[in-house]
């Protein structure tokens, strides 16, 4: 049996050892899920909603413990990890509220027949999550699945299994039936085996574009529905008429938060010509004041990256950008505390003069690094914003309402923030276009993604359609 060592990103020390789920156990795990799902689907919907509310209360009560586990394992600041824990509870409230409201429609076709649609659960949903926001995404995927009568098998990233294991333990202790939400631990081998398993009825994957495409290929071959939330290289566009102080604060938060390990990181910043130098100075001044260090320290803005591997990837991206001729506009200092010497820290860095086709501008770094470039007018801003194969999120900063709406219309993204960035809610749809994903989750999109329609025709008179009619 293989074991994964889980590290504490803040100082690189060992946090736990977690046994990987043997692939041979998957048949049994799917059988358990199928059995639990059959009972759950027959449970009155209001009872299901009530149990999900109970689970949300238990998660709220366990917020500090859950947040601490997440902060220790993911390296998020305690403040951010506590918010993530609160959002788990909120997800159970929101999707629990859908449990008894997920119905089809009557469809009037002819007076001789009663026609309607029923929304049915798929059955067993496989939810695979990445390490950056693994806790919240596990809660979201599980809540979306079970709200609509499915079972869920979660597969957290091998770097961060602990928050998901704790989440499911709390949900079960609050009354979510055993076996309805299970956790498979391990890495790509376990993930791929889950995707390929014939017991899989729907795949909900959040992670990299490379793995997403592999999953889509398997899902296509096996004719399984799939929702993919993948990478991004999102633009933040700042026009000269924007509130520049607010924009500068938000732009930094939109890419340095979680040490840049956000799929929606706004890592391509485009600034209108007339304010370009001034805005760069504002960003540089703020970056110089960014404190990198121990995520448990409330004075710290940016914590470590999740792993030594991710830190090294970010450092390599910084070196590559320099080799490609980009210029460092500002860079925050690394922590000097010897206790953190083994931690996975990278310096928040802003680049200018990066070529539009350079690796820095076209590839996701997943670290606290971004490029700034100038634009002359709205048309150029749109063209630059849409200049990658991704289409996840976009930020627009302007005080001109009509222009804001034109930009919203023209940018290629599943999520757009105007004069803001990073508002995420279970009440809103989430997903991306192009290499950023396929289909949507969240809000009422969850209802469509996690249920399937059955069309029913019930004859009210002797049925007239025969071979001879």
As a dihedral over the C-alpha atoms of residue 242, residue 248, residue 249, residue 255, rounded to 10 degrees, the angle is 120
**Range 218-277, binding ligand NAD (CB under 6 A):** 229-232, 263
- Contact pattern from residue 50 through residue 89 relative to ligand NAD, giving x for each residue in contact according to CB under 6 A and a dash for the rest: ----------------------------------------
For residue 14, CA distances in Å to 9, 76, 129, 303 come to 9, 17, 22, 18
Least spacing, CB of residue 382 vs ligand NAD, in Å? 22
Stretch that binds ligand NAD, among 43-51, 91-99, 122-130, 343-351 (CB under 6 A): 122-130
Q: Which is nearer to ligand NAD, 303 or 335 (CB)?
A: 303
**Range 417-436, binding ligand NAD (CB under 6 A):** 432
105 vs 116: CA distance, rounded Å:
6
Q: Which is nearer to ligand NAD, 130 or 177 (CB)?
A: 130
Least spacing, CB of residue 5 vs ligand NAD, in Å? 15
Q: Which of 81, 99, 128, 248 binds ligand NAD (CB under 6 A)?
A: 128
DSSP structural state of residue 289: T
Q: Which of 80, 364, 426, 435 binds ligand NAD (CB under 6 A)?
A: 364
Question: Strand (E) positions, 44-130?
Answer: 113-121, 124-128
Q: Which of 67, 149, 158, 254 binds ligand NAD (CB under 6 A)?
A: 158
Catalytic center residues:
141, 229, 263, 441
24 vs 4: CA distance, rounded Å:
18
Q: Which of 96, 191, 303, 442 binds ligand NAD (CB under 6 A)?
A: 191
Q: Which is nearer to ligand NAD, 62 or 269 (CB)?
A: 269
Stretch that binds ligand NAD, among 13-21, 207-215, 353-361, 376-384 (CB under 6 A): 207-215
As a dihedral over the C-alpha atoms of residue 387, residue 391, residue 397, residue 401, rounded to 10 degrees, the angle is 110
- Does 125 engage in binding with ligand NAD (CB under 6 A)? no
Least spacing, CB of residue 305 vs ligand NAD, in Å? 11
Q: Which two tokens stand for residue 424?
A: 């995420």
Task: Answer whether 135's CB lies under 8 Å from 74's CB.
Answer: yes
Report which of 145, 148, 152 is spatially closest to residue 179, judged by C-alpha positions: 152
Residue labelled with tokens 């997440």: 70
For residue 56, CA distances in Å to 185, 303, 395, 438 come to 24, 28, 32, 29
Radius of gyration of the chain (CA): 24
Using CB under 6 A as the binding criterion, the count of chain residues that bind ligand NAD stands at: 31
- With a CB cutoff of 8 Å and minimum separation 6, the contacts of 466 are none
- Does 369 engage in binding with ligand NAD (CB under 6 A)? no
Given the rule CB under 6 A, which residues bind ligand NAD? 128-133, 155-158, 187-188, 191-192, 195, 206-208, 211, 214-215, 229-232, 263, 364, 366, 392, 432, 437
């Amino acid at each position: 049996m293989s074991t994964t060592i889980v590290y504490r990103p803040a100082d690189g020390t060992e946090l736990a050892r977690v046994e990987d789920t043997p692939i041979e156990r998957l048949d049994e795990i799917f059988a358990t899920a199928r059995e639990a799902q059959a009972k759950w689907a027959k449970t009155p919907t209001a009872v299901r909603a009530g149990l999900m509310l109970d689970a949300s209360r238990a998660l709220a009560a366990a917020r500090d413990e859950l947040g601490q586990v997440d902060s220790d394992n993911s390296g998020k600041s305690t403040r951010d990890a506590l918010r993530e824990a609160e959002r788990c509870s909120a997800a159970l409230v929101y999707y629990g509220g859908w449990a008894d409201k997920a119905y089809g429609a009557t469809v009037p076709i002819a007076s001789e027949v009663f026609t309607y649609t029923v929304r049915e659960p798929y059955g067993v949903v496989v939810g695979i999550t990445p390490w950056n926001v693994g806790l919240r995404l596990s809660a979201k995927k599980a809540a979306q699945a079970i709200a609509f009568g499915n079972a869920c098998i979660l597969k957290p990233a091998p770097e961060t299994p602990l928050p998901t294991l704790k989440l499911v333990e709390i949900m079960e202790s609050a009354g979510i039936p055993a076996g309805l939400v299970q956790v498979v631990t391990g890495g790509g081998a376990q993930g791929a085996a889950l995707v390929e398993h014939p017991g899989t009825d729907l795949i909900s994957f959040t992670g990299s574009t490379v793995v997403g495409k592999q999953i889509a290929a398997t899902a296509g071959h096996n004719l399984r529905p799939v929702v993919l939330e993948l990478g991004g290289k999102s633009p933040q566009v700042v026009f000269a008429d924007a509130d520049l102080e607010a924009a500068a604060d938000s732009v930094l938060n939109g890419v340095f938060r979680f040490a840049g390990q956000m799929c929606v990181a706004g890592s391509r910043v485009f600034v209108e010509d007339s304010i370009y130098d001034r805005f760069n100075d504002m960003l540089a001044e703020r970056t110089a004041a960014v404190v990198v260090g121990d995520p448990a320290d409330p004075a710290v803005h940016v914590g470590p990256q999740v792993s030594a591997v991710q830190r090294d990837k970010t450092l390599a991206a910084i070196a590559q950008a320099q080799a490609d001729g980009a210029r460092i506009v500002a860079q925050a200092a690394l922590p000097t505390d010897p206790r953190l010497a083994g931690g996975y820290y990278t310096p928040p860095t802003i680049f200018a003069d990066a070529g539009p086709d350079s690796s820095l501008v076209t590839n996701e770094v997943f670290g606290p690094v971004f490029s700034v470039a100038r634009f002359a007018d709205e048309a150029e801003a749109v063209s630059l914003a849409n200049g990658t194969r991704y289409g996840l999120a976009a930020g627009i900063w302007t005080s001109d309402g009509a222009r804001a709406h034109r930009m919203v219309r023209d940018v290629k993204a599943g999520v757009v923030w105007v004069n803001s960035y990073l508002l995420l809610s279970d009440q809103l749809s989430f997903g991306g276009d192009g290499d950023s994903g396929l289909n949507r989750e969240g809000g009422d999109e969850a209802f469509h993604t996690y249920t399937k329609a059955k069309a029913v025709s019930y004859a009210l008179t002797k049925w007239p359609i025969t071979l001879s009619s």
